Amino acid sequence: MSKDGFNKDGYHKATGTKFNKLGYDKDGFSRNGYDENGYDKDGIHIATGTLVNTSGLNKDGNYEETGTPFNKDGYHKATDTKFNEEGFDKDGFNKNGYYADGFNKNGYDRNGYDKDGIHIATGTLVNAAGLNKDGNYEATGTKFNEEGFDKGGFDKQGYDKDGFNKYGYDKNNFDKDGTHFVTHTLFNTAGFNKDGFKKDGFDKLGKNKQKLMSNKD
């Protein structure tokens, strides 16, 4: 028995005839000789009497004039735009000008590297920032440079050289102006400011800020 329920002689197991419950034989044709899309064995469409249906598509689902799902004006049969369901046009480019493999007509990806990893601007395996096609620094083999920062300027903990993250807060949740992320004031939930002092001028060890400053002087 075949996967479609027809035996070797073309009889269907459910109907006992040469047609399944939908009225099609083992080759997919009805008693009238047409498939579910209205084409006969020679590809003639029942409605038009030609090799294409009323939409201009042949039995393979392509436009006869182009042999593809795109018509002569470059519009796709399913989307009615110049891009198919996957987002590629008749020439295989997406709206940004890249093939499905990620390279443009000149052979470079969106980051400027060719298939061998050569960068368009430098002619080497790294771009001007020292990063290879995998986004790693050639010197370290990681996404962090020799100083420990990534291309965005942040370390592994997510802080820049000044100690602030991409949202502008330090490890204690204070921004550059000393405003706390949670309280929106100059003091955290425990009452300490960015320098570790309370409003009365004492830190958590009980040391006074003014005395500490005078001792430095």
Q: Where are the extended beta strands (E) located within 8-90?
A: none
DSSP symbols for 110-129: TTSB-TT--BTTTSSSS-TT
Residue with tokens 């996404």: 143
- The predicted structure's pLDDT at residue 14: 95
Of 172, 146, 147, 171, give the one whose Cα is nearest residue 158: 171
Residue 215 included in any domain: yes
pLDDT band at 56 (very low <50, low <70, confident <90, very high): very high
Cα-based angle 137, 138, 140 (whole degrees, multiple of 5) = 70
Q: At residue 214, does pLDDT exceed 70?
A: no
Neighbours of 30 (CB within 10 A): 16
The answer to whether residue 174 sits within a structural domain is yes
User: pLDDT by residue (tens digit) across 110-123?
Assistant: 999 999 999 999 99
Residue 215 pLDDT: 57
Residues 6+ apart with CB under 8 A from 167: none
Query: Considering the domain boundaries, does residue 192 fall inside one?
Result: yes
| pLDDT above 90 (res 71) | yes
Give residue 213's domain range: 164-217
Q: Which tokens is 184 given?
A: 């929106």
Q: Is residue 99 part of a domain?
A: no
Q: Confidence band (pLDDT; 50, 70, 90) for 209?
A: low
Q: What percent of the chain has pLDDT over 90?
A: 89
Residue 213 covered by a domain:
yes
For the chain, what is the domain count?
1
